Amino acid sequence: MFRIEDVIEKVEKNRPEPNIELIRRAYMFSALHHRGQKRASGEPYLVHPLAVADMLAEMRLDEVSVSTGLLHDVVEDTLIDLDTLRSYFGEEITHLVDGLTKIAHISNLSKEKQQAENVRKMVLAMVTDVRVVLIKLADRLHNMRTMQFLKPEKRARISQETLDIYAPIAHRLGMGKMRSELEDLSFQNIYPEEYKRLSKEVEVRRPELDEALEKITKKIEKGLTENDVPYVEIQGRVKRLYSLWKKLKKRKLTIDQVYDLIAARIITPNDRKNCYVALSVIHDIWTPVPERFKDWIAIPRDNLYQSLHTSVIGDNGQSFEVQIRTEEMHHVAEEGVAAHWKYKEKKLGKQDEDESLDELRKTVEKLLLPLVETTDSNEDSEDFIESLKLDLYPKDVYAFTPRGKIVQLPRGSTPIDFAYAIHSEVGDTCTGAKINGRIVPLKSELQNGDVVEILTTSNSKPSRDWLNYVVTSRARNRIRHWISDQQRAESIEIGRKLLEKETEKFRISPKKMLNDDDAMKRIANEYGLGRAEDLLASIGYGKTLPRNVLAKYLGAEKFAELDPEKRKETRLETGMKAVKKFIGLGEDAIIVQGVDNLLTTRARCCNPLRGEPIVGYISLGKGIVIHNKNCRNVKQLMINRDRVVDVEWAKSDSQEIQSVKILATTENRTGMLAGITNAIAEIKTGIRDARAKISRDDKGLIEVTVEVFDKKHLDRVVTSIEQVPGVIAVERVNSN
Ligand code: MN
């Protein structure tokens, strides 16, 4: 078990002017809040943060990192929250602990194995400080080392996550020792049987392997000494179990068919020349396998790894690998970025340390970038990094479904993008969203780690507005597609009505014509259109005149004969017209069921009220726009007479509420506003807004927005306002 004094000793040895006081306080705080907690092994919980802190001290990380190691689980596992932590330890440590807590949260959520790639990206996306990665790796390594007390299923799950997420990160950072240990422990816990079997197979061969290794190292030693080549150490080793197992599986080999079961390594003093000289000695002793020589010294791997690799044919005909590297290269190969400081000057000032940390940050970002950008996680890929971006993860944001499935979206995405990413049906019927349990506007920007729940209503439809705040092309395309479908459906419907009206004018059956598929198709073709529907749509859009369509349908002769413009009206028709005119109905009006439905929208300029005389205007993409007949815009619209249609209000029981603005001019005296709102309330009418001001000529101007059902209702409101003492005039105001 580690003691805090051991940790402090390491920090004092490795760091300039360390803030030991901070580490002691962190230790006390952690001990206090984890007190009484036990690990699965039965040991006090504190053992774990201490072990993590020790590893970080070993890596020569700063005292902030070491203190964070001590505190890394207090928010996750005790009652301490971030604010409390901040009040004791300040922003920097709190920020690091927050990052670690978020990552812990991700691990708890993700259960699907195929999400590994995404989880790894997300873990990295959450890292705003590179120290978080190193602390997390230390945390994970200690947990892996001590997992024998957990249940097998839990061990397997954590190990799989380690294999999928943390071992590749360690590899990327060049932390060879960390990666090997994580992988071997994971292998052991995911496939305990195979691990046992394979290690037994190796053990059986151990004496023979050791003997072979000894012969090899002796021979190397002799060769180097005879040639005066300096060396620090010659190592002989047996291949790691996990990489051996992977190789056997991938190549479908048995253990006896593996040629590189053993390997030798020469570590030379810190001058790369020594490596090349040593290489020449090796190639002098044994014959090299030509295509297997690799010079990672001249061209280092992008994870900083440097070494010479050569395979030679041994005395018994079996080939084996020899790696040659300097002491410094060896440390980098084992510890990767964590070795970064070890070769800095021993006596560093505080400022140099900060610069050094900054350098480390850049290195880590550079190394981790490919992990995030490539979709295939081919761990052997040694592609060089094309660009050096400071923002590691500028492009993506990762959010969860309530069930923990990860959805990867571009930055700036909203719940609507999320909804369409799940399923187009979900997007189409989306009516609201919750983020982390709270209802939010649909245009809210998603943040990393958000849990997003989409609220849907089965008959709900997409909105054109959404186009203003979706960023994914998938969502955009679906919404556009829906709008154009919708517009087409509307224009077909309008076209059908217009054509029906026209046939009635010619006194032929609309049904007969519209159901005459051949004729409709023929006419459509004459207009260069494919189908009858296209013809109707074209009429609806106002591109094709129904009268001309009828001319083509009837043929010139018949058309002339039936043309209502040349035909005399029957007495009945004349009589009906008179009656309709008398009761205030348009002759062939389209019935407006309500406003703002599929076919019709209310014109903003005059805001027509149910009961008021109205006229319709076919507007591209909006269907029929309903204007008040007296609207001043209507006169201008009349220029395009073909698009003007008669419309009338349907008799309806549905009480649709509409807001109307009224302006009352009054004498300038107190209580006017109250008097008017009282009068409106008395006739049980809703008030949306009311405001008063004084005009230049010292009159009261009171603007009230009321909610009315129709023209009659509005008239009643106006009358009741007019009766309030002091009111001079009342008028309706339109928005423009
Ligand atoms: Mn932990």
Asked if pLDDT for residue 370 goes beyond 70, the answer is no
How far, in Å, is the centroid of ligand 1 from the Cα of 51?
A: 10
Looking at the chain, the whole-number percentage of residues with pLDDT higher than 70 is 82
For residue 77, indicate whether it is catalytic: yes
Query: How many A from CA of 140 to the centre of ligand 1?
Result: 7
The mean-pLDDT minimum among 136-150, 174-188, 387-401, 422-436 falls in 387-401
Asked about 534 being catalytic, the answer comes back as: no
DSSP helix, strand, coil percent of the chain (3-state; round to 5):
55, 15, 30
> How many other C-beta atoms lie within 10 A of the C-beta of residue 731?
10
Distances (CA, A) of 344 to 13, 307, 331, 355, 530: 14, 21, 13, 12, 77
pLDDT (0 to 100) of residue 719:
92
Q: Would strands 686-694 and 600-602 be described as parallel, antiparallel, or unpaired?
A: unpaired
Tell me how far the alpha carbon of residue 137 lies from the centroid of ligand 1, in angstroms: 10
Query: Cβ distance 580 to 636 under 8 Å?
Result: no
Mean pLDDT over 357-379 rounds to: 56
| Single pTM value for the model | 0.55
**Confidence at residue 392, expressed as pLDDT on a 0 to 100 scale:** 43
Please give the residue that has the higher pLDDT: either 352 or 595.
352
How long, in residues, is the chain?
736
Q: How far is the CA of 48 from the centre of ligand 1 (A)?
A: 7
Select which of 6, 77, 353, 396 is catalytic.
Answer: 77
150 CA from centroid of ligand 1 (Å): 15
Identify the band that residue 502 occupies on the pLDDT scale cut at 50, 70 and 90. Answer: confident
Tokens of 556: 């010139």
Q: What share of the chain in percent tops pLDDT 90?
A: 35
The predicted structure's pLDDT at residue 486? 81
Q: pLDDT tens digits for 426-454?
A: 999 998 999 878 888 898 999 877 889 99
C-alpha 226/C-alpha 106 separation (Å) is 58
Q: Tens digit of pLDDT for each residue in 402-412?
A: 877 778 888 88
**If we measure between CA atoms, which residue out of 264, 247, 262, 246 comes closest to residue 208?**
262
- What order do you get walking across the sheet with 727-733 strand by strand? 686-694, 699-708, 658-667, 727-733
pLDDT surpasses 90 at 338: no
Residue 134 CA to ligand 1 center (angstroms) comes to 13
466 pLDDT more than 80 = yes
pLDDT in tens, 697-733: 888 899 999 988 888 899 999 999 999 999 999 998 8
For residue 218, what pLDDT band results from cuts at 50, 70 and 90?
very high
- What pLDDT, in 10s, does the model give residues 574-617? 655 555 555 444 444 455 544 444 456 778 788 888 788 888 88
Note the Cα 325 to chain centre separation in Å.
44
Average pLDDT over residues 5-10: 92
201 — pLDDT class (breaks 50, 70, 90): very high
Q: Average pLDDT for residues 51-59, to the nearest whole number?
A: 92
Mind listing the pLDDT tens digit for each residue in 633-648? 887 777 766 677 777 7
5-33: average pLDDT: 91
Which residue is catalytic, options 6, 76, 260, 573?
Answer: 76
Residue range 490-503: average pLDDT? 85
CA of 148 to the centre of ligand 1 (A): 16
